[in-house]
Amino acid sequence: MTTAALPASTPAAVVVAEPPPTMSGRVKKTLSSRLATVVALVIAILWTIPTAGLFISSFRPAEEIRTSGWWNFFTSPSFTLDNYDEVLFSSSAGSGQLAGYFINSIVITIPTVLFALGLAAFAAYALAWIPFRGSGWLFIGIFALQIVPLQMALVPLLRLFSNGVVLGGVTLIPAPELVGAQQFATVWFAHICFSLPIGIFLLHNFISELPRELMEAARVDGASHSRIFRQIVLPLIGPALASFAIFQFLWVWNDLLVALIFSGSNAGVAPLTVRLAELAGTRGEEFQRLTAGAFISIIIPVIVFLALQRYFVRGLLAGGLKG
Amino acid sequence: MNETQPKLLMLMYGVIAFFAVVGILLLVVDKAPKRGREKVQLLAFLAPAVILLSVGLLIPALRTVLLSFQGPGSVDWVGLDNYEWMFTTAEARRILLNTAAWVLIVPALATSIGMLYAIVIDKARGEAFAKALVFMPMAISLVGASIIWKLVYAVRPPDQEQIGLANQLLVMVGFEPYRFLQDPPWNTAFLIVIMIWIQAGFAMVILSAAIKAVSADVIEAARLDGVNAWQMFRNVTLPSIKPAVIVVMVTISIATLKAFDIVRTTTGGQFDTGVVATALYDQAFRFGEEGRGSALAVLLFVLVLPIVVYQVRVLRSQKEIR
């Protein structure tokens, strides 16, 4: 099972071949294509080995991780799932207790992705197809917000949640009193706000490209914007929604900063990344926990990514190149 | 597992809230009265996003600017004290220097490596697979990547067996084991390697698409002229993909400027590795120095401001052409 992810399987796949016509050309071409192959191999190996090392380590007994390198696995293989069992389910305070954090990650991610998608799609549609004064400027403003570092918003936003709206010593809106699982709401709120600019921009790119005749014909037939949105726009922007959904999923699932600030280090709300960063800090050398823990946090985004890579790349190209 | 139930309940509420909000908004749009119908429809579609952006981003950002002129606890106005701290104290200067190193090195190297890889695997057999290998780190969290590299950089005393690959290689060629993460100033360089490892895949994907878009006629013409591989790259490929290269470098620069997770997970900003993003977090959320934290946030904003202005210009010129 472990061998599937090993770099050993990569070389065969990366061969550059293209037979050139002339003799001298062929020699030169072979040389340069040899060089290209070597370069490709070196980069591919450098980019794969660190992850492979982590993956292999996570299945080695704790004692062996502590005393020898993971490459010894090939000469004296020993396999165990103890690290995963311990880091997920052990109840001792020092171990990961990651099962709970894993659920937190899911609870944080799903509503955030849904809301960001829905609200961004609405706004993008309005900006593209409902003409009003200032539409262009509003779009540019939202586009500019996308580049503004979210760090600019952290301190005041956290205060908003802890103090409510206070103006000149008068509390206009009291702070929401969130207990237990309700505290997820603050993390949701922060993530949704921070992802709207990029979401609106990406979806606007697709929605504004829909054929004008189609939209106008629907308007002439008396369809409301709600109807056009549901019956014409939504079915056509599926791929765009998919690519933004993947972005948003990866971003929220992998986020550390927002979670750290808006969940505190509250074990009932904090996601996997927060717990892993904590383990890496306080128990920096306990690699049996770190490797298994890191792999648990990595595996879901990697599966999503591999399954939906096409949409992800399409989104990157739309956002990256137009931006 | 008793604590799982309220969480799943909360998840359910979240999902229900989503469908409720979307349903209500669409209903409002549908059932809007004839008079002022356009306006109601516009508001229903646009208002939620605009309100969230104002409450969650715009107003807080403006308040951060104000906070940066206030002291700890945001009680007193302190003028430019926080900015003075930022540019005159040794600890803050270290942080600025480190950030400069990150922002100068990561985009340059990640883009170069990504471009090189995109070129050598272009049209190769198994290209998709080769791409996925280098692209994969993009899907991994920065925290996960940091742990991956922490294992690579792990160090054991010389008399013990090494468990980190980097030190194993050093020892094999006869050097002493090196404390990659603890010894300044080079530890920052080894943290930068992690960011390059992550961003090269992004550069590769974008540039690979740009390379494939270079017109086949131009390439064929150059080939008939008998140019070699280097000349082809220098005179044909590079000029054609220049816009994409700029976009990639700008995007990676912004991401690097804001990078927080790697330093936080590997060293926690100790051993002289702090950057603006980690210092900002420490000052504002650990040391109670919201003023200094806010000043650092404003610095980040000022640094990306030229990019914002440039991008807005590009966007506006695109709109005019259409």
For B90-321, which CATH class? mainly alpha
The answer, yes or no, to whether ipTM is higher than 0.90 is no
Q: Which residues contact B292 (CB under 8 A, 6 or more apart)?
A: B82, B85, B86, B283, B284
Task: Supply angle C-alpha A110, A112, A114, rounded to 5.
Answer: 70
Confidence at residue A16, expressed as pLDDT on a 0 to 100 scale:
40
- Which chain A residue lies closest to B127 (C-alpha atoms)? A14
**In chain A, where the domains are located:** 2-89, 98-322
- Across chain A, which has 323 residues, the per-10-residue mean pLDDT values are 31 40 56 80 91 89 82 82 83 75 92 94 91 88 86 89 77 75 88 92 88 86 84 87 88 91 84 88 73 89 85 72 34
The whole-number average pLDDT for the span B4-9 is 86
Confidence at residue B162, expressed as pLDDT on a 0 to 100 scale:
84
- Which of B18, B164, B229 minimises the CB distance to A111? B18
Q: Which two tokens stand for residue B130?
A: 């080769």
pLDDT in tens, B250-271: 889 988 988 899 999 888 888 8
Q: Which two tokens stand for residue A142?
A: 């939202």
Superfamily name with CATH number, domain A98-322 = MetI-like (1.10.3720.10)
> End-to-end CA distance of chain B, in Å?
57
Chain A residues with CB under 8 Å of B210 CB are 321
Confidence at residue B295, expressed as pLDDT on a 0 to 100 scale:
92
- B141–A16: do the CB atoms touch at under 8 Å? no
Which of B1, B10, B103 is the best residue to mutate to test the A interface, defined by the most A CB atoms within 10 Å of its own CB?
B10
- Which of A49, A152, A281 minimises the CB distance to B64? A152
Task: Give the distance from residue A241's alpha carbon to the nearest chain B alpha carbon, in angstroms.
Answer: 15
Confidence at residue A7, expressed as pLDDT on a 0 to 100 scale:
32
Confidence at residue B172, expressed as pLDDT on a 0 to 100 scale:
86
Q: Which two tokens stand for residue B104?
A: 């100068």
> Is the pLDDT at B220 greater than 60, yes or no?
yes
- B6–A144: do the CB atoms touch at under 8 Å? no
Confidence at residue A114, expressed as pLDDT on a 0 to 100 scale:
94
Q: Which two tokens stand for residue B187?
A: 């530890």
Confidence at residue A284, expressed as pLDDT on a 0 to 100 scale:
55
Residue B113: pLDDT band (50, 70, 90) is very high
Which of A42, A48, A74, A225 is the best residue to mutate to test the B interface, defined by the most B CB atoms within 10 Å of its own CB?
A225
Alpha helix ranges (H) inside chain A: 23-57, 62-67, 82-89, 98-129, 135-145, 154-163, 184-207, 212-220, 225-228, 234-236, 238-254, 257-262, 272-282, 287-307, 309-322
Using an 8 Å Cβ cutoff, are A304 and A246 in contact? yes
The answer to whether A108 contacts chain B (CB < 8 Å) is no
Chain A residues with CB under 8 Å of B134 CB are 43-44, 47
> Is the pLDDT at B321 greater than 80, yes or no?
no
Confidence at residue A19, expressed as pLDDT on a 0 to 100 scale:
45
pLDDT in tens, B71-94: 887 678 888 888 988 898 888 899
More confident residue, B2 or B49: B49
**In chain B, where the domains are located:** 4-67, 90-321
